[in-house]
Structure 1
Amino acid sequence: MAHSADVIYTGGWVFSALASAPIQKAVVVVDDRIAAVIAETDVESWTGDGTQLVDLGGGLLAPGFQDAHIHPIGGGVEGLQCNLTEARDGDEALELIAAYAAANPDLPWIQGAGWSMDHFPGGTPTRQMLDAIVSDRPVLLSNRDHHGAWANTLAFTLAGVDRTTPDPVDGRLERESDGTPAGTVHEGAIGLFEHVAPGTSNELAYAGLLRAQAELFALGVTGWQDAMVGTALGMSDSFEIYRRALAEGTLIAHVVGAQWWDRSAGIEQVEQMIARRDQVATEQPDLFSLGTVKIMVDGVAENQTAAMNAPYRDNHGHPTDNSGLSFIDPERLKEYVTALDAAGFQVHFHALGDRAVREALDAIEAARAANGPRGNRHHLAHLQVVDSADAARFAGLDAIANMQSLWASHEAQLDTLALPFLPDGAEEHHYPFGELLDQGARLAAGSDWPVSTANPIEAIHVAVNRVTPGENSEPLGAPRQKLDLATAMTAYTAGSAYVNHREHDTGAIAPGYLANLVVLNPNPFELDPTDIYTSTVTSTWVRGTQVYGVPVTA
C-alpha cells in the first residue's frame, strides 16, 4: 500500500459491471480513483487518520449510472417554467397552468412542458381549453414527449397561423372542420411559433443545467450523453452553456455532447461540427466532448409520425395511407452518415419505428462499405418497434441498441394512442431488448428525460419486469424481451460508458477507474424482481467526492 485511503466503502455488496453478480468486498479510493477492491478483513490496513469509512449498511455499491440519451438543460429549464409532469389528468394540468399564470403575472408568454397526450381525447387538447383559463397572454406548452405542443388562440394569432397555413413537410396541425388550428401541433409544426415565442435565455439555460446536474446526482447519474447540443427547438445554444459551466467550474459530471443535425440543412453542417468538436478537445475533454452527432430519423407512434414498414390503422382497424415520416430521405441519410463516419463522428440516431431502424442501419452499412470499420460506436435510441431481420443486423454493424427501457410497459399513452393503430403483432416487436441481446447486440441505456423520469432504477425495474413500477399489469410483449437485473444494470453503467468512449475509466468498479459511484439501499439484487424500484440512492460520488446524500464523516 502506497498510503492510506481517502475513502473506503465497506459493509455491503459491490456490483462491478464486469461480472454477472455482486460480491461482498470493500472498495478503496485514493484521490479520485479506485485503488483496490479488497476483502473486508483488509480494510484496517488501508485506514488512516483521514480515511472516510462509508458503511453501505448491507446495500449495493455500483458504478455511477450513465444516461446515454438525455436532455438535461431542457429538463432543468422545464422545472423552472410551467411544469406539467406531475398532473394526473387533463383537469389537473389545466389547474397547474392557471396557477402558474397567476403566480407569474409579468411573463409575456406562458411556456413549459410535460402534459400527457393520454389525458386528452385523441391525445389532442384544444385551444379553447387554454383560452378559458389564459386568454390575455399567449400560451405554448410542449407535451411529455416533445413531439407536439399545445397553444391557445392568441399564440396562433401572434404566430400568424390560421386555416390557410399549410402543414409543414415534417409536421401537422390538428384542425377544426373549417381548417382553423384546433390547438395541438405535431413535430415540425412546432417551429411555426419560433419567430414570435421567446426562446430560452442563456441565464435560464445555465440555471437549468445546474438544476439538472443536481437532480441527476440525486438519482445516481454521474455522466451522460446530451442528445441535443446546439441551437434547436427554441433553446439557447447549449454548446456555449456547457462551455460557461466548464469555465466557471460548475460542470462536475462528465458529458458527451451530441451535436444537433438540422434536418432542413445538409452536408455543409459537417464542417462546423468538426470545428466545434476540435475546439472543445483543447479545453477539458475529460469533462465535455463533442464527438457525436444526433440525427432524428422519424417521429413518434402516438402522433403517427414514427416511420413504420406497414401503415397505421384508423379507428376502425383499417389500414390508412400513412406509414409515418422519414425526416431525412434515406439516400441523403446514407450520404450524411458516411461523411460523419469518415470525419470520426459517432452518430446517435433517434429511430423509433421499424422503418426508421432499418433506414438507420442501412446508413451505417453504407458508411462501413465506404469507410471500413472505424470504431465510431454508432447507436440507435428508442427502438420502439424493430423487425426481427433488423435486430439480427446490429452486432454485425457494431451498432449499439440504446434502450429507454422505462417505456417498455403497458401504460395509458401506449395502450390508447399507439398499439390500437399499429398492425397486429406489433406488440411482440415492441422494445425488443431481449431479442437484441440474444442476437449479439451491445446494450446501452438512457432515459430521454424530461420526456420521462431520469430515474435509472425505475427504468431498470421495467427492463426486468416489463411492467410499470408499483403496478400489477400484464408485461409488455413476450417473456423473451425481459432482461435480467445484472444485464440491465450493466447497460446503464458499462454499456453507456462504452457508447461514450469512456469504458477505460468509467462505468465499472476496478482499480484505476474513476471513483464515480452510487450507493443503493436496499441492494436490488436481494429484492424480489417486482420490488426493484423500491431501491433508492443514498449517496453519489464523482471522482471520489460526495455530490449527493448525507455527508459522510471520517
Structure 2
Amino acid sequence: MFSVTNTNTVRALWRVRDHTQRSGGRSELALTHFHNGTIWRGASSGTADSLLVRDGTIVAIGSAEVDRHLNSSSFEHSPADSSESVDLDGGFLMPSFGDGHAHPIFGGLEAEGPQVRACASVTEIVTEVRRFAEANPEVEWITGASYDGSLVEGGLFDSRWLDDAAADRPVVLRAWDYHTVWCNSRALEIAGITAGTPEPELGEIPRRGDGSPLGTLREWGAVDLVDAVRPPLDEAMRLRALERAADYYLERGVTWVQDAWVEPADVETYLAASDQGRLKVRFNLALYADPRHFAEQLPAMVEARRRVEVRGDPLLSARTVKFFADGVVENETGSLLEPYCSSLHNHGLRVWEGETLAEAVRAVDAAGFQVHIHAIGDAAVRQALDAIESAMTCNGPRDRRPVIAHAQLVDADDLSRFAELGVIANMQPLWAQLDDLMTVLTLPRLGEERAGHQYRMRTILERGGRLSFGSDWPCTSGTPVEGLAIGTSRQTDAGEPAGGWTPEEIVDIDRALDCYSTAVAHQAFADHSPAVWGEIRPGASADLIRFDHDPRDVTPQELAKMAVRTTYLGGVAVHSST
C-alpha cells in the first residue's frame, strides 16, 4: 500500500514551532522514539540503537541519551503531547535522500502526454503516439517524453515516422537526454524550419541529403525554434506535474531536490504551489543562465530570488544559478579536449565562448548565488573549473559550495582541482554502467581508452574532493537505490561485467549512502537553513527514511529493488508503504 500524508500536516507543525518560539510558551508537541534497529548516522559517524525526536527535531541519540533525556527534570512532557514509539523491527533508519540534480517539472509532465519512455522500438513509439492522438482529439500540440535515442543509429529520427501517427497536428517528443527533440513534419512546418533555415546558434538541425530537415533537433538553439511557436502549458497542468514529481520523490525517500533548470515560467509555478500549500518536499531552484540573454537575465534572477525569500516557505529556496558549459556525448555536443572518434575536427559544443562563462560566473557569484554548471566533456569541465577559480580570485573568499554537475569526463590534470577549489562534483551513479546508452552511443564516440576514464567518483573522493549524487530525472531514473546499486558495483542489472566496469572507481556503500544524503545536504547549505537537515544529530530536523533491511548487507541487485518503508519530513511520516 502507498500513501502520502497531506503536507499541510508538516506546515502545521512548523507553524506550531514558530508560534512557540515567538511567544516563549509551549504547545502540544510530537514525540517520536525510534528503536530496535540500526540508526545509521553517516559513513564517519557510526550507528546508534535509539533516536528521540521532539516536535520534528532530533533531541537525543542512543539508548542511554534517550533515557537520560526522557528522565531529565528539565525535559517537560505533558499528557497533551502526542507520543509515538516506532519499532524498527531490525530495520534501518538514516538521513533522507537528496537529489542534487534533477528536473522535477519535466518529470511530472511526462505523464501528461503519450507514454513513450518504455517503448523499445520506433514502431512502438509511433503506435503510442497514434493511440494518444486518437484518444485526445482536442489536444492542439502533442508533446511527450522521453524516447530512447539509442533505438536509431546516431540518434537520428525521421519526421515522416511520426507523420504516420498524426500528420494533422504538430508532434514534439523529447529524447531521454532532454537535449534532443523529434518532431513530425507539421511541427517543423509551423516552426518555419526548412531546407533554407540556417544552422542556429547553440544548436543543430540534422538534414537529409537534399538539405531538408530530418526531424531531429539538437540543443537549445534548434529546440527553441519549435518552443517559440508552441502555446504555453496550462498552469494547472504544471502544478499537477510538480505535485506528481513530489509524490514520486517521497516514495523513493527523497526530501530535497535541486531543480537544475528553472526558467521564468517555472518560477511562477513554484510560487503558485507555495502560495497554495502544494509543495511536498524541499526544492531549491537553479535559475537558468542563457548566454544569448544573460545581461538582462541577472536582474530578473535577483528579483526571482527575492520573491521566493519573502515568502519564508521552508520548502522553497532559490539560491542557485545553472549554467550549461556543453551538451552531451551521445549527440556529440559534449565539449572535448580531443576530437570525437567520428571526426578529426569535431570537439563538440562550447556553449559559452571565450571568457564569457567566467565573466557570467563572476557576476552571479558577486550577486551571492551558488554556481551550478553542467559540464559533461573534459573541455567543459576545465572551462567550468577555470570560471569558478576566476570568481574566487576576483570576488574574494566566502562559503560558495560551487557545483559541477555530471563531470562525465575529467582530464587527469583537473581531478585534484575539485578539492583545491572546494567544488562539489555532482555525479549520476546510475550512468556508470555498460548499458545501451553507453555501448551504442557513448563508447563509439569516445573510443575505448578515453571511455574508460568516465565518472571518476572514487578518484575525486580519494583526492579530497566532495562528491554528491543526483539522478538527472527524468533523463534517467530518480530512484536513489538504483543509482546506489550501480555506483557500488559499476554493473548492469544483470551483474555485468563481472567485477564491474572500471572497478577502480567503485564507491563503497557507506560513502555512497553519504553521497546521496549528507553530501547533498552540504550542497544544499542545509547547515545554514532555518531547519538544519541531512544529518542525524541533536538539533537537526528529522528528515529520515526507513528501510526494512540494512542496505549495506545486500547485493547490488537486491539493493536496486529495496523499497523505502517510510519517509519522514520534519518528523512527519509523509510517505509510508506496507
Q: Is the 8 A contact 2:191 2:225 kept in 1?
A: yes
In structure 2, relative to structure 1, the CA distance for the partners of 1:157 and 1:539 (3 Å cut) is same
- Does 2:31 match 1:6? yes
Q: How does 1:306-345 map to 2 (within 5 A)?
A: 306-314=334-342, 319-345=343-369
Contact 2:96 2:255 survives alignment (8 Å): yes
Compute the displacement of 1:359 (Å). Answer: 0.1
Preserved CA contact (<8 Å) 1:202 1:241: yes
Look up the SS of the partner of 1:106 in the other structure: coil
> Would you say the 8 A contact 2:430–2:483 is kept in 1?
yes
Instruction: Please state how far the C-alpha of 1:208 moved relative to its aligned partner.
Output: 0.6
For the 8 Å contact 1:17–1:507, the answer to whether it is kept is no
The within-5 A match list for 1:270-419 is 270-284=298-312, 286-314=314-342, 319-419=343-443
**More deviation, 255-264/23-32:** 23-32
How many residue pairs match? The answer is 540
Aligned residue for 2:186, secondary structure, equals helix
In the alignment, is the contact (CA less than 8 A) between 1:538 and 1:549 conserved in 2?
yes
SS at 1:436's partner residue? helix
The residue aligned with 2:236 is 203
State the alpha-carbon separation in 1 of the partners of residues 216 and 262 from structure 2. Answer: 26
1:424-453 C-alpha deviation (Å, 9 max, x unpaired): 411221011111111111111111111011
Structure 1 distance, partners of 2:291, 2:65, is 59
Gaps of 5+ in 1: 232-236
Q: What's the RMSD between the two structures over aligned residues?
A: 2.1
Q: In the aligned structure 1, how far is the partner of 2:495 from the partner of 2:192?
A: 45
> What corresponds to 2:22 in structure 1?
none
The AA in structure 2 aligned to 1:449 is W
1:35-73 CA distance string (max 9 Å, x none): 211228967985988422222232211111111111111
Name the stretch that deviates more: 86-95 or 53-62: 86-95
- The reply on whether 1:74 has 2:132 as its aligned counterpart is no
Where 1:142 maps in the other structure, the secondary structure is strand
Structure 2 CA distance for partners of 1:468 and 1:199, relative to 1, 3 Å: farther
Q: Could you list the per-position Cα deviations for residues 282-325 of structure 1 after superposition, in whole angstroms to 9, with x for gaps in the alignment?
A: 222532111110001100000000000010112xxxx4311001
Using the TM superposition, give the Cα deviation of residue 270 of structure 1 relative to its aligned residue in structure 2, in angstroms: 1.9
Question: 8 Å contact 1:296–1:350 — kept in the other structure?
Answer: yes
Matched residue SS, 2:534: coil
Residues 359-403 of structure 1: per-residue CA shift (max 9 Å, x gap) = 000001111111122211110001111111111111111111001
For residues 380 and 529 of structure 1, the distance between their equivalents in structure 2, rounded to whole angstroms, comes to 27
Structure 2 counterpart of 1:452, one-letter code = T
Correspondence for 2:449: 425
TM-score where L is the length of structure 2: 0.89
1:190 is matched with which residue?
Answer: 223
Give the Cα–Cα distance (whole angstroms) in 2 for the partners of residues 4 and 172 of structure 1: 58
Name the stretch that deviates more: 52-61 or 437-446: 52-61
Matches within 5 A, 1:160-171: 160-171=192-203
1:108 counterpart = 2:140: yes
Query: In the superposition, relative to structure 1, how do residues 499 and 180 fare at CA in structure 2: closer, same or farther (>3 Å)?
Result: same
Residues 410 and 474 of structure 1 are in contact (CA less than 8 Å); yes or no, is this contact kept in structure 2? no
| In structure 2, distance between residues paired with 1:337 and 1:59 | 45
Residues 482-538 of structure 1, C-alpha deviations (whole Å, 9 max, x = no match): 101111111111111111111351111111111111112321111134432132111
- Whether 1:219 aligns to 2:214 is no
- Compared with structure 1, are the counterparts of its residues 475 and 192 closer, same or farther at alpha carbon in structure 2 (3 Å cutoff)? farther
Please give the alpha-carbon distance, in whole angstroms, between the structure 2 residues aligned to 1:327 and 1:41: 54
How many Å apart are 1:10 and its aligned residue?
A: 2.0
Separation in 2, partners of 1:426, 1:59:
42
Deviations 1:14-53 (A, max 9, x none): 11126365x2412211111112112289679859884222
Partners of 1:32 and 1:450 in 2: how far apart? Answer: 31
Q: Does 1:152 align with 2:184?
A: yes
Q: Percent identity?
A: 35
Q: In structure 2, what is the Cα distance between the partners aligned to 1:550 and 1:445? A: 25
- Call closer, same or farther: CA 1:76–1:335 in 2, change over 3 Å: same
Task: Provide the C-alpha distance between the structure 1 equivalents of 2:300 and 2:449, rounded to a whole number of angstroms.
Answer: 44
Normalised by the length of structure 1, the TM-score is 0.93
Query: How far apart in 2 are the matches of 1:87 and 1:57?
Result: 40
